[in-house]
C-alpha cells in the first residue's frame, strides 16, 4: 500500500487527526508504521509542520492552537506506540505459529543415565559409611602378601590343617620370599597392629583370593574385616557392633543374630554368626522370620596374634570380624550367581548397578 | 564327621530328642551341617500287597495293579515297573506324599485313560539307592500297612557335623557325647578299658630309627600280635554302623580299625603278620622308595615322610595309609595291631604331598589323644578276640607317651574381661570339669586349670574362656554398646580411598559402566599389556586364562567389551578402578582408573547428530573429567604424543606432569593388542594411575583463593592460521598464549580444516582469543597491537600464516 503524503497545507487539525489515526490503524507492518510516523512526526511531518507554525502566531492564538497541536502530537505518538505493540505481538504470533518441534522425538540420553556403579563399590561405600560413623577408619593393604602376614602372624602354624581351610594361590617361586595372594584381608589387620598403637578401630575392605570356582565361590572375591583393639572391648561389644552394622546395612528396625562357637586360628573365642531371616519363594528378608542364614565369622583377637604384632595381650584385647562384600550385596540386592559379578555383562551391570549420583549417606539413607 | 543317633546313644545316656541334640551340637560349636532322617523322610511310605496285576488296556509296558494298602478298600495303581506282579509285596505311597528321589509331591492321575491313586516305589524314588530298575520287592512276611522305614529299620538318623580343625576329640562319637554331656544333655557312658593279658611275648620287635632331633616324628609305637584269628565278615551291627556313615565294610579286622577311628577318634593299623618279614623299623622314608598302598596306587616316597618298614622295605605310610603287601584279607590268620602317635604337621605334609585323604590322616594331623593310644589297642584287641578269636601276645612298645602338663594359670576374671559375661566361678569350674579339665585352687582368684589329653587346642586363658562361653551359650553374652567418640564422626578415608571413590562416580557420570574384572589374566594378555613377568605368575592358577597378575586393567575390560559384543551389544563403555601389579613387591601394586569405549560414541545412532565411532578424544574427555573430579590441578599437565606399545602409535598420548611423573595414557588401542584379545576395534581407552597423580598441597584453611573478576568486558578476536599438517594445535595455542600473558585470558580452538581452499600439506586452525582488560577498557589500537603480537608469535613458533 502506498502512503499518501500528508499535505502540510492540511490545517484542519481534526481532519489531520482522523487521517493520521486511520493511517496508523491501517499500517500493516512495522515499516508502514514507521512511514506513517515520519509523515506525521518526522522533521518534515505534518504535525511537525503544524508545530512550526506556532512561532508565527499571536500569543493568544498560540495558546489555543498550541494546546490542540500538542494534544494531536501526543495522541499520535501514543497511537503509534500502541499500533507498534500490536504489530509486534502479531508478528511474534505469526513466527511462533511457524516454529514447531516434534517433541515426541527422543532426546539423546545423558551420560548420567548410562553410567553405572558396580554393586561391590556401592556396598563397600555403604559399609564404609556405617563403620565410619562408629569411628572405624578404612585400612588397606596389598593383594600380594607374604606367608608371614597372611598365615603365620595370624596364628596359622606352618603345615597346620587350618591353612587348608583356605585354598591359597601362590606366586611362582622366583628365589625370594614365598609370596601368595591374600586369602583374607586379615593381613591388613596385622599391618595395622604392627604400625599403630591401640586404640585401633579399622575396617579392611578388599579383594581376596582362593582357588575355588562354582556358583557361590569365585577365585577372587571381596571381603571386609573389622578390628577393634583397646583395653576394654569384649565379646559383648562385638555382638552390639555386629547387630548395629547388620541392622543399618539391611535397613531394618532390628535384626536377631545367632552366635555359634566355631574356630578360626586368629580368634579365641571364635564364632560364626547367623542372621535371622525369612525365606519366601526366591526372596529373602532380614530382621524377621524364623530362618537363619550364616553371614559372617568373628571372635576375640587371639592372644598369639596380638603378641605376634607386638601388642601385650594381658593389657590389650579386642575383636575382629570378617564378611563377604559380594555376599552382602547378593543378600541385600538379590543377585543369585556370584560369578556374574565378575563377568561384566553390561545387561547385568545396568540392571544391578547403581546410578552415578546415588551416593549412600547416613542422612539420606544408604539406598535410594 | 558322621555319626548316627543310635551310635551316639551308645556313648550318651539321654532322653533328648533328635532336634534337641542337633540344636545343642550347633550351639556348642559342633555345627550340624546335615541331618538325614530316613524315618522322617519316609514316614508316609507303607508296605502294601499287589492283589492283582493285569496289563494296561492302552499301554503295553504299563500294568494296572489293585493294591491292598492295609487301610480300607484296595487301591488302583498304574505301574510301569517290569517286576510288578500279582501277589508281590512292595512299598506304597498315597497321593500327597513327597517322593524324595523325584523331588515331587505325588498327585492323583489318569495314565493312558486309567485312574491311578498312588504309586508303588523303587529304591531310587525313596533315595535309598540308585536302583530304579523296578519297584521294591519285599519278602512275603512283610506286614501290610506298616511303615516301611520302621519295618526296614531305617529309623536311625544320620548326623553330619562340620568339624572345625581344632576339635580332633570330636572326630569320634565318644568325644561328641562328652561335649553333649557337658552341655547337660545327658550322661556320658564310660567304661573302663582293661588291658588284655598277653599269652606270649610279641615276636615282632620295633625300632624307632630317628635322629635325636627327629624323635618327635614318631614319639610312641605299640604293637600286638593275635594268632589264630578267623577274619570273616564283621558282625551285622558293625557293618550297619559303617554303612550308615558311608563306609564299606571289608572284613572284621579292617572294620574294627575303621570302627575305632570313628567311635574313639583312634586310628589303628592292622598288618597280616605272616606277610611281615622280620622286625619293624619306623624311620624316615628314603628318596626313591615306593609303596603300593591299600588304595591300589603306588606312591613315591621321600625323606620328609615317615614309614613303617620290615625287611622288605616300607610296609605302611605312617598315619596315612597302609601298604597292600601286608594288608589283612579273609585268609589272614595272624594279625599285628599297631597303635602309634605321629607328628601332626608331618602327617599333614605327607598327606598333602601325596594327595592322600584318609580318615586316619584327618585325625592324626589334627592331633589324636595320646592318652588313648594304649586303651585304643586294648579295645581293638578285645574286638578282634570277640569277632575273630585267636590268642593275643603281650605288647611290644617303643618310644614314650608324652607327659602332658599343660596347667594354665587362669584368673576367673578373664571370662568377664574378654566377654563381658559375669559367670560365677563355681559354674565355670563345673563346666570345665564336665569337659574333662582338672581345676585346682578353684576357690582362689587364679585357678590352675589343666586341659584333658584329648584337647590339644587348649593353649591359654582365651581357650578356657571359650570353653566356658560356648557351654553357657554366646547368646547369653549381653550385647554392649561400643563407646563412641563424642560428637560428629570424623573423616576416616585416606586421600587415595577418596580418589578411588570419586573416580568411580566421575567416570560413571561420563556414561561409563563400572566393571569388576579378575585380578588375573592370561600370560599372553599380560605380555600384550606390559606385564608377564615371572614373579607375577601364579604357581597354581585355577585356569590358564587366569594365570598372571594383571599389569593393567585394560585386558580385563577389553575382554569384557568383546564378550558383550559377542552377545550383540557392540557399543561398550566400561571402566574399572582397581589394583594393577607392576612387580610382586608392595610398591608394585598400583591403583588404576581405566576405561574403554568401543562402537558408537555418546548416544550412538541418534537423529540429532551424525553417528560417529568413539575415539581418542572421548577417552581424553573422560580423563579430563576424572582429573577435574579429583581436584588435580591440570595446569602442569603435559600431553605428549605416543603411548606404550599397546596403544596406537599415532593416535595416543602420554599424560605426564614432567617426564618423571607419567600418570597415564589415552588413545586408540593398538590393533595388535586387540588381536591378542580377539576383539574387533577400534577401541578407545585411557588409563590413569591414581596414586601417581600429584597430591594437592596441604593448606592450613579451607579458604579458597580470592575471586578476581573484572568489571571490564572481555574482548574476543578470531584468527584463522594456515600451518603445516604436522604442526600441533597445542603448540599454536601455546604460542598465542605467549603473546601477552596478562591480557590473554583464554585461547580456544574453534575450527580445524583441511581441504579445498587450504594448500596441500597444510591445515587451517581457527583460534578464538579472549582478552581480559585488567585496568581499563582496551582501545582499538591496543587490541590491534596484541593481535599483531599473536600473529607474529604464531609465525615465529609454528610457521603459521594468517589465512
Task: Select the residue of B492, B537, B569 nearest A138 (Cβ to Cβ).
Answer: B492
**Residue in A169, A308, A344 to test binding to B, most B beta-carbons within 10 Å:** A344
Task: Select the residue of B28, B578, B606 nearest A261 (Cβ to Cβ).
Answer: B28
In a domain, A19, yes or no: yes
* Chain A positions in Cβ-Cβ contact with residue B584 (cut-off 8 Å): 144, 171, 174, 179
- CB atoms near residue B536 (< 10 Å): 25
Pairing of strands A283-286, A291-301: unpaired
Please state, in angstroms and rounded to a whole number, the distance separating the CA atoms of residues B234 and B236.
6
Domain ranges in chain B with CATH number 3.30.56.10: 2-37+157-188, 415-475
pLDDT at residue A296, as a whole number: 95
Per the structure, the count of domains in chain A is 2
Are A83 and A149 within one domain?
no
Q: Is A322 exposed, middle or buried (0-12, 13-18, 19+ CB in 10 A)?
A: buried
- When pLDDT is cut at 50, 70 and 90, the band that residue A284 belongs to is confident
pLDDT at residue B590, as a whole number: 96
User: Is B538 within 8 Å of A258 when comparing Cβ atoms?
Assistant: no
**Residue in B162, B170, B462, B596 to test binding to A, most A beta-carbons within 10 Å:** B462
User: Is B504 within 8 Å of A117 when comparing Cβ atoms?
Assistant: yes
- The residue of chain B with its CA nearest to that of A162 is B165
Domain ranges in chain B with CATH number 3.50.40.10: 206-399
What's the rounded mean pLDDT across residues B534-540?
Answer: 92
Q: Which CATH number is B2-37+157-188 given? A: 3.30.56.10
C-alpha cell of residue B20:
534337641
The pLDDT tens digits for B42-66 are 888 899 999 998 888 888 888 899 9
* Chain A positions in Cβ-Cβ contact with residue B420 (cut-off 8 Å): 234-237
- What's the CATH number of domain B40-151, 2.40.50.140, 1.10.10.60, 2.60.40.10, 3.40.50.1820? 2.40.50.140
What's the rounded mean pLDDT across residues B162-185?
Answer: 94
Are A32 and A163 within one domain?
no
User: Is B480 within 8 Å of A179 when comparing Cβ atoms?
Assistant: no
- The least confident of A300-309, B295-304, B643-652, B692-701 is B692-701
**Residue in A260, A312, A340 to test binding to B, most B beta-carbons within 10 Å:** A260
The pLDDT tens digits for B468-514 are 999 999 989 999 999 987 888 888 888 899 999 999 999 999 999 99
User: Is B420 within 8 Å of A317 when comparing Cβ atoms?
Assistant: no
For residues B517 and B43, which has the higher predicted lDDT (pLDDT)?
B517
- Backbone φ/ψ region at B658: left (φ over 0), alpha (ψ -120 to 50), beta: left
C-alpha cell of residue B723:
600451518
pLDDT at residue B211, as a whole number: 94
DSSP SS3 for B620: helix
Compute the CA torsion angle A193, A199, A205, A208 (nearest 10 deg): 30
- The residue of chain B with its CA nearest to that of A221 is B518
User: Is A346 within 8 Å of B418 when comparing Cβ atoms?
Assistant: no
- When pLDDT is cut at 50, 70 and 90, the band that residue B794 belongs to is very high
A62, A71, A86, A1: which is closest to A36 by C-alpha?
A1
Are A182 and A314 within one domain?
yes
User: Is A240 within 8 Å of B481 when comparing Cβ atoms?
Assistant: yes
- Classified by CATH at the fold level, domain B415-475 comes out as Phenylalanyl-tRNA Synthetase; Chain B, domain 1 (3.30.56)
Please state, in angstroms and rounded to a whole number, the distance separating the CA atoms of residues B441 and A81.
113
Q: Which CATH number is B206-399 given? A: 3.50.40.10
DSSP conformational letter for B553 = S
The pLDDT tens digits for B722-766 are 999 999 999 999 999 999 998 999 999 999 999 998 999 999 999
Closest Cα of chain B to A91: distance in Å? 29
Measure the N-to-C terminal CA separation of chain B; round to a whole number of Å. 89
- The residue of chain B with its CA nearest to that of A123 is B501
pLDDT at residue A164, as a whole number: 66
What's the rounded mean pLDDT across residues A11-20?
Answer: 83
pLDDT at residue A243, as a whole number: 94
Domain ranges in chain B with CATH number 3.30.70.380: 715-802
Please state, in angstroms and rounded to a whole number, the distance separating the CA atoms of residues B471 and B435.
10
The pLDDT tens digits for A69-123 are 888 899 999 999 999 999 999 999 999 999 999 999 999 889 999 999 999 999 9
Closest Cα of chain A to B25: distance in Å? 10
Which residue range(s) make up the domain with A158?
Answer: 118-352
User: Is B564 within 8 Å of A346 when comparing Cβ atoms?
Assistant: yes
pLDDT at residue A11, as a whole number: 57
Number of H helices, E strands in chain B: 20, 42
* Chain A positions in Cβ-Cβ contact with residue B571 (cut-off 8 Å): none
In a domain, A131, yes or no: yes
User: Is A181 within 8 Å of B538 when comparing Cβ atoms?
Assistant: yes
User: Is B520 within 8 Å of A220 when comparing Cβ atoms?
Assistant: yes
In a domain, A218, yes or no: yes
Residue A26 has pLDDT above 60, yes or no: yes
Are A180 and A293 within one domain?
yes
% chain B with pLDDT above 70: 100
Compute the CA torsion angle B498, B504, B508, B512 (nearest 10 deg): 150
Give the per-residue SS3 of chain A.
CCCCCCCCCCCCHHHHHHHHHHHHHHCCCHHHHHHHHHHHHCCCCHHHHHHHHHHHCCHHHHHHHHHHHHHHHHHHHHHHHHHHHHHHHHHHHHHHHHCCCCCCCCCCCCHHHHCEECHHHHHHHHHHHHHHHCCCEECCCCCEEEHHHHCHHHCCCCCCHHHHHCCCCEECCCCCCCEEECCCCHHHHHHHHHHCCCCEEEEEEEEEECCCCECCECCEEEEEEEEEEECCCCHHHHHHHHHHHHHHHHCCCCCCEEEEEEEECCEEEEEEEEEEEEEECCEEEECCCCEEEEEEEEEEECHHHHHHCCCCCCCCEEEEEEEEHHHHHHHHHCCCCHHHHHCCCHHHHHHHCECCCCCCCCCCCCCC
Are A156 and A274 within one domain?
yes
For residues B129 and A301, which has the higher predicted lDDT (pLDDT)?
A301
User: Is A300 within 8 Å of B419 when comparing Cβ atoms?
Assistant: yes
- Classified by CATH at the fold level, domain B495-692 comes out as BirA Bifunctional Protein; domain 2 (3.30.930)
Residue-averaged pLDDT of chain B: 92
User: Is B167 within 8 Å of A263 when comparing Cβ atoms?
Assistant: yes
CB neighbour list of residue B398: distance below 8 Å, 6 or more residues apart: B206, B207, B208, B220, B221, B222, B282
Q: Are A49 and A13 in contact (CB under 8 A)?
A: no
pLDDT at residue A1, as a whole number: 40
Residue at a domain's end among A64, A98, A132: A98
A39, A37, A28, A25: which is closest to A1 by C-alpha?
A28
Residue A68 has pLDDT above 80, yes or no: yes
Q: What is the DSSP string of A24-90?
A: HHH--SHHHHHHHHHHHHSTT-HHHHHHHHGGGS-HHHHHHHHHHHHHHHHHHHHHHHHHHHHHHHH
Are A153 and A55 within one domain?
no
- CB atoms near residue B318 (< 10 Å): 28
In a domain, A367, yes or no: no
User: Is B493 within 8 Å of A128 when comparing Cβ atoms?
Assistant: yes
- Let me know how long chain B is: 803
Closest Cα of chain A to B622: distance in Å? 11
pTM for this model (two decimals):
0.84
Beta strands in B657-792 (DSSP E): 662-669, 683-689, 715-724, 744-753, 762-771
Residue B81 has pLDDT above 90, yes or no: no
pLDDT at residue B216, as a whole number: 93
Place of cell 563424642: B486
Are A89 and A122 within one domain?
no
ω before B232 within 30° of 0 (cis)?
A: no
Closest Cα of chain A to B148: distance in Å? 31
The pLDDT tens digits for B546-568 are 999 999 999 999 999 999 999 99
* Chain A positions in Cβ-Cβ contact with residue B165 (cut-off 8 Å): 160-162, 165, 263
The pLDDT tens digits for B370-383 are 999 999 999 999 99
* Chain B positions in Cβ-Cβ contact with residue A157 (cut-off 8 Å): 345
**Residue in A101, A115, A320, A362 to test binding to B, most B beta-carbons within 10 Å:** A115
Task: Select the residue of B492, B567, B578 nearest A132 (Cβ to Cβ).
Answer: B492
User: Is A114 within 8 Å of B511 when comparing Cβ atoms?
Assistant: yes
Task: Select the residue of B417, B477, B537 nearest A171 (Cβ to Cβ).
Answer: B537
CB neighbour list of residue B682: distance below 8 Å, 6 or more residues apart: B598, B613, B615, B668, B669
In a domain, A362, yes or no: no
Are A216 and A90 within one domain?
no
Residue B291 has pLDDT above 50, yes or no: yes
- The residue of chain B with its CA nearest to that of A112 is B509
User: Is B603 within 8 Å of A108 when comparing Cβ atoms?
Assistant: yes
User: Is A207 within 8 Å of B579 when comparing Cβ atoms?
Assistant: yes
Closest Cα of chain B to A223: distance in Å? 14
Are A25 and A138 within one domain?
no
* Chain B positions in Cβ-Cβ contact with residue A209 (cut-off 8 Å): 519
User: Is B492 within 8 Å of A136 when comparing Cβ atoms?
Assistant: yes
C-alpha cell of residue B1:
564327621
Task: Select the residue of B349, B459, B577 nearest A159 (Cβ to Cβ).
Answer: B349
Residue A226 has pLDDT above 60, yes or no: yes
- The residue of chain B with its CA nearest to that of A270 is B466
pLDDT at residue A213, as a whole number: 84
* Chain A positions in Cβ-Cβ contact with residue B462 (cut-off 8 Å): 268-269, 300, 302-303
pLDDT at residue A10, as a whole number: 47
What's the rounded mean pLDDT across residues B171-194?
Answer: 94
Closest Cα of chain A to B1: distance in Å? 15
* Chain A positions in Cβ-Cβ contact with residue B521 (cut-off 8 Å): none
Q: Are B365 and B302 in contact (CB under 8 A)?
A: no
In a domain, A8, yes or no: no
Task: Select the residue of B165, B346, B420 nearest A234 (Cβ to Cβ).
Answer: B420
Closest Cα of chain B to A368: distance in Å? 16
User: Is A240 within 8 Å of B579 when comparing Cβ atoms?
Assistant: no
Task: Select the residue of B484, B497, B508 nearest A135 (Cβ to Cβ).
Answer: B484
- When pLDDT is cut at 50, 70 and 90, the band that residue A2 belongs to is very low
For residues A162 and B337, which has the higher predicted lDDT (pLDDT)?
B337
CATH at A159: 3.30.930.10
Residue at a domain's end among A98, A126, A157: A98
Are A17 and A164 within one domain?
no
DSSP conformational letter for B657 = S
What's the rounded mean pLDDT across residues A275-303?
Answer: 87
Closest Cα of chain A to B32: distance in Å? 11
User: Is A353 within 8 Å of B513 when comparing Cβ atoms?
Assistant: yes
The pLDDT tens digits for A119-156 are 999 999 999 999 999 999 999 999 999 999 999 999 98
B225, B177, B221: which is closest to B199 by C-alpha?
B225
Are A90 and A140 within one domain?
no
Are A83 and A219 within one domain?
no
- Classified by CATH at the fold level, domain B715-802 comes out as Alpha-Beta Plaits (3.30.70)
Q: Is B750 exposed, middle or buried (0-12, 13-18, 19+ CB in 10 A)?
A: exposed
Q: Are A318 and A228 in contact (CB under 8 A)?
A: yes
pLDDT at residue A166, as a whole number: 66
Task: Select the residue of A110, A121, A172 nearest B514 (Cβ to Cβ).
Answer: A121
% chain A with pLDDT above 70: 95
Q: How many CB pairs under 8 A join A and B?
A: 277
DSSP SS3 for A221: strand
The pLDDT tens digits for B405-424 are 778 999 999 999 999 999 99
What's the rounded mean pLDDT across residues B385-401?
Answer: 95
What's the rounded mean pLDDT across residues B239-252?
Answer: 87
Amino acid at each position: 500500500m502506498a502512503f499518501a503524503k500528508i499535505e502540510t497545507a492540511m490545517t484542519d487539525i481534526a481532519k489531520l487527526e482522523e487521517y493520521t489515526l486511520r493511517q496508523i490503524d491501517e499500517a500493516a507492518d512495522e515499516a508502514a508504521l514507521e512511514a506513517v510516523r515520519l509523515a506525521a512526526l518526522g522533521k518534515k511531518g505534518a504535525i511537525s509542520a503544524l508545530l512550526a507554525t506556532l512561532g508565527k502566531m499571536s500569543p493568544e492564538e498560540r495558546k489555543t492552537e498550541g494546546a490542540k497541536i500538542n494534544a494531536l502530537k501526543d495522541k499520535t505518538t501514543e497511537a503509534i506506540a500502541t499500533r507498534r505493540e500490536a504489530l509486534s505481538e502479531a508478528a511474534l504470533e505469526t513466527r511462533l505459529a511457524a516454529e514447531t518441534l516434534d517433541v515426541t522425538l527422543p532426546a539423546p540420553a545423558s551420560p548420567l543415565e548410562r553410567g553405572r556403579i558396580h554393586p561391590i563399590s556401592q556396598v563397600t561405600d555403604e559399609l564404609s559409611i556405617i563403620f565410619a560413623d562408629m569411628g572405624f577408619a578404612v585400612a588397606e593393604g596389598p593383594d600380594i602378601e607374604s606367608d608371614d602376614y597372611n598365615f603365620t602372624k595370624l596364628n596359622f602354624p606352618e603345615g597346620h590343617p587350618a591353612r587348608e581351610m583356605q585354598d591359597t594361590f601362590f606366586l611362582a617361586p622366583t628365589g625370594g620370599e614365598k609370596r601368595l595372594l591374600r586369602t583374607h584381608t586379615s593381613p591388613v589387620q596385622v599391618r595395622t597392629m604392627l604400625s599403630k598403637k591401640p586404640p585401633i578401630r579399622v575396617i579392611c575392605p578388599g579383594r581376596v583370593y582362593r582357588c575355588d570356582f562354582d556358583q557361590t565361590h569365585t577365585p577372587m572375591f571381596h571381603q571386609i574385616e573389622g578390628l577393634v583393639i583397646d583395653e576394654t572391648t569384649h565379646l559383648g561389644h562385638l555382638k552390639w557392633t555386629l547387630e548395629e552394622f547388620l541392622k543399618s546395612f539391611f535397613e531394618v528396625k532390628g535384626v536377631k543374630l545367632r552366635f555359634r562357637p566355631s574356630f578360626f586360628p586368629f580368634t579365641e573365642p571364635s564364632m560364626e554368626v547367623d542372621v535371622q531371616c525369612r525365606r519366601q519363594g526366591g526372596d529373602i528378608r532380614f530382621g524377621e522370620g524364623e530362618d537363619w542364614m550364616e553371614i559372617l565369622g568373628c571372635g576375640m583377637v587371639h592372644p598369639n596374634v596380638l603378641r605376634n604384632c607386638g601388642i601385650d595381650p594381658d593389657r590389650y584385647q579386642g575383636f575382629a570380624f570378617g564378611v563377604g562384600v559380594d555376599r552382602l550385596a547378593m543378600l541385600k540386592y538379590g543377585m543369585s550367581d556370584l560369578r556374574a559379578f565378575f563377568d561384566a555383562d553390561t545387561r547385568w551391570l545396568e540392571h544391578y548397578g547403581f546410578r552415578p549420583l546415588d551416593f549412600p549417606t547416613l542422612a539420606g539413607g544408604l539406598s535410594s | 564327621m558322621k555319626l548316627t543317633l543310635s551310635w551316639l546313644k551308645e556313648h550318651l545316656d539321654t532322653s533328648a530328642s533328635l532336634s534337641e541334640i542337633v540344636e545343642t551340637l550347633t550351639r556348642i560349636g559342633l555345627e550340624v551341617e546335615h541331618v538325614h532322617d530316613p524315618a522322617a523322610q519316609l514316614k508316609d511310605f507303607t508296605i502294601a500287597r499287589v492283589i492283582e496285576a493285569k496289563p494296561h488296556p492302552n499301554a503295553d509296558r504299563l500294568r494296572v495293579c489293585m493294591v491292598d494298602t492295609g487301610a480300607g478298600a484296595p487301591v488302583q495303581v498304574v505301574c510301569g515297573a517290569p517286576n510288578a506282579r500279582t501277589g508281590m509285596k512292595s512299598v506304597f505311597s498315597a497321593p500327597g506324599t513327597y517322593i524324595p528321589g523325584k523331588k515331587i509331591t505325588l498327585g492323583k492321575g489318569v495314565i493312558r485313560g486309567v485312574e491311578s491313586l498312588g504309586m508303588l516305589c523303587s529304591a531310587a524314588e525313596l533315595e535309598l539307592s540308585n536302583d530304579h530298575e523296578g519297584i521294591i520287592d519285599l519278602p512275603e512276611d512283610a506286614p501290610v500297612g506298616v511303615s516301611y522305614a520302621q519295618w526296614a529299620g531305617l529309623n536311625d538318623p544320620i548326623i553330619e557335623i562340620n568339624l572345625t580343625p581344632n576339635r580332633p576329640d570330636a572326630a569320634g562319637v565318644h568325644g561328641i557325647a562328652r561335649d553333649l554331656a557337658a552341655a547337660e544333655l545327658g550322661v556320658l557312658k564310660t567304661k573302663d578299658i582293661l588291658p588284655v593279658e598277653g599269652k606270649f611275648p610279641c615276636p615282632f620287635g620295633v625300632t624307632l630309627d630317628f635322629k635325636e632331633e627327629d624323635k618327635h616324628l614318631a614319639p610312641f609305637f605299640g604293637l600286638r600280635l593275635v594268632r589264630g584269628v578267623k577274619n570273616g565278615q564283621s558282625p551285622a551291627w558293625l557293618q550297619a554302623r559303617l554303612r550308615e556313615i558311608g563306609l564299606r565294610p571289608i572284613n572284621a579286622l579292617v572294620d574294627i580299625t575303621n570302627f575305632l577311628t570313628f567311635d574313639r577318634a583312634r586310628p589303628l593299623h592292622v598288618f597280616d603278620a605272616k606277610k611281615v618279614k622280620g622286625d619293624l623299623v619306623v624311620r624316615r622314608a628314603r628318596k626313591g622308595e615306593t609303596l603300593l598302598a591299600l588304595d591300589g596306587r603306588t606312591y613315591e616316597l621321600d625323606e620328609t615322610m615317615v614309614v613303617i618298614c620290615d625287611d622288605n622295605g616300607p610296609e605302611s605310610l605312617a598315619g596315612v595309609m597302609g601298604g597292600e603287601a601286608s594288608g589283612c584279607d579273609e585268609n589272614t590268620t595272624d594279625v599285628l595291631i599297631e597303635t602309634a602317635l605321629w607328628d601332626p604337621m608331618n602327617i599333614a605334609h605327607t598327606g598333602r604331598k601325596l594327595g592322600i585323604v584318609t580318615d586316619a590322616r584327618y585325625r592324626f594331623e589334627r592331633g589324636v589323644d595320646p592318652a588313648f593310644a594304649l586303651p585304643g589297642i586294648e579295645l581293638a584287641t578285645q574286638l578282634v578276640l570277640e569277632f575273630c578269636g585267636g590268642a593275643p601276645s603281650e605288647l611290644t612298645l617303643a618310644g614314650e607317651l608324652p607327659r602332658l602338663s599343660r596347667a594354665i594359670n587362669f584368673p576367673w576374671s578373664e571370662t568377664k574381661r574378654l566377654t563381658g559375661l559375669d559367670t560365677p566361678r563355681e559354674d565355670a569350674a563345673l563346666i570345665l570339669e564336665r569337659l574333662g579339665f582338672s581345676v585346682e585352687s578353684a576357690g582362689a582368684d587364679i585357678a590352675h586349670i589343666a586341659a584333658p589329653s584329648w584337647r590339644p587346642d587348649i593353649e591359654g586363658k582365651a581357650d578356657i574362656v571359650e570353653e566356658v562361653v560356648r557351654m553357657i551359650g554366646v547368646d547369653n553374652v549381653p550385647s554392649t554398646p561400643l563407646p563412641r567418640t563424642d560428637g560428629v564422626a570424623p573423616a576416616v578415608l585416606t586421600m587415595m580411598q577418596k580418589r578411588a571413590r570419586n573416580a568411580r562416580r566421575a567416570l560413571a557420570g561420563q556414561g561409563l559402566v563400572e566393571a569388576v574384572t579378575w585380578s588375573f589374566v592370561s600370560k599372553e594378555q599380560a605380555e600384550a599389556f606390559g606385564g608377564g613377568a615371572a614373579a607375577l605368575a601364579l604357581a597354581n592358577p585355577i585356569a590358564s586364562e587366569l594365570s598372571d597378575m594383571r599389569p593393567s586393567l585394560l585386558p580385563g575390560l577389553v575382554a569384557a567389551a568383546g564378550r558383550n559384543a559377542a552377545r550383540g551389544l557392540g557399543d561398550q563403555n566400561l571402566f574399572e578402578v582397581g589394583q594393577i601389579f607392576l612387580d610382586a613387591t608392595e610398591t608394585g601394586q598400583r591403583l588404576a582408573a581405566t576405561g574403554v569405549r568401543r562402537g558408537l560414541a555418546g548416544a550412538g545412532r541418534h537423529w540429532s547428530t551424525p553417528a560417529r565411532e568413539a575415539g581418542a578424544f572421548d577417552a581424553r574427555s573422560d580423563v579430563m573429567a576424572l582429573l577435574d573430579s579429583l581436584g588435580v590441578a591440570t595446569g602442569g599437565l603435559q600431553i605428549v604424543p605416543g603411548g606404550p606399545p599397546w596403544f596406537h602409535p599415532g593416535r595416543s598420548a602420554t599424560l605426564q606432569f614432567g617426564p618423571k611423573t607419567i600418570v597415564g595414557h589415552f588413545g586408540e588401542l593398538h590393533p595388535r593388542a586387540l588381536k591378542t584379545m580377539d576383539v574387533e576395534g577400534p577401541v578407545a581407552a585411557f588409563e590413569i594411575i591414581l596414586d601417581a597423580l600429584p597430591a594437592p598441597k596441604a593448606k592450613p584453611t579451607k579458604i579458597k583463593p580470592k575471586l578476581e573478576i573484572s568489571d571490564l568486558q572481555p574482548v574476543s578476536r578470531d584468527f584463522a592460521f594456515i600451518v603445516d599438517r604436522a604442526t600441533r594445535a597445542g603448540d599454536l595455542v601455546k604460542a598465542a598464549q605467549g603473546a601477552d600473558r596478562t591480557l590473554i585470558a583464554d585461547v580456544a580452538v574453534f575450527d580445524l580444516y583441511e581441504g579445498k581452499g587450504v594448500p596441500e600439506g597444510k591445515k587451517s586452525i581457527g583460534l578464538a582469543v579472549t582478552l581480559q582488560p585488567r585496568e581499563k577498557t582496551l582501545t582499538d589500537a591496543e587490541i590491534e597491537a596484541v593481535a599483531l603480537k599473536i600473529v607474529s608469535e604464531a609465525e615465529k613458533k609454528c610457521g603459521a600464516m594468517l589465512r
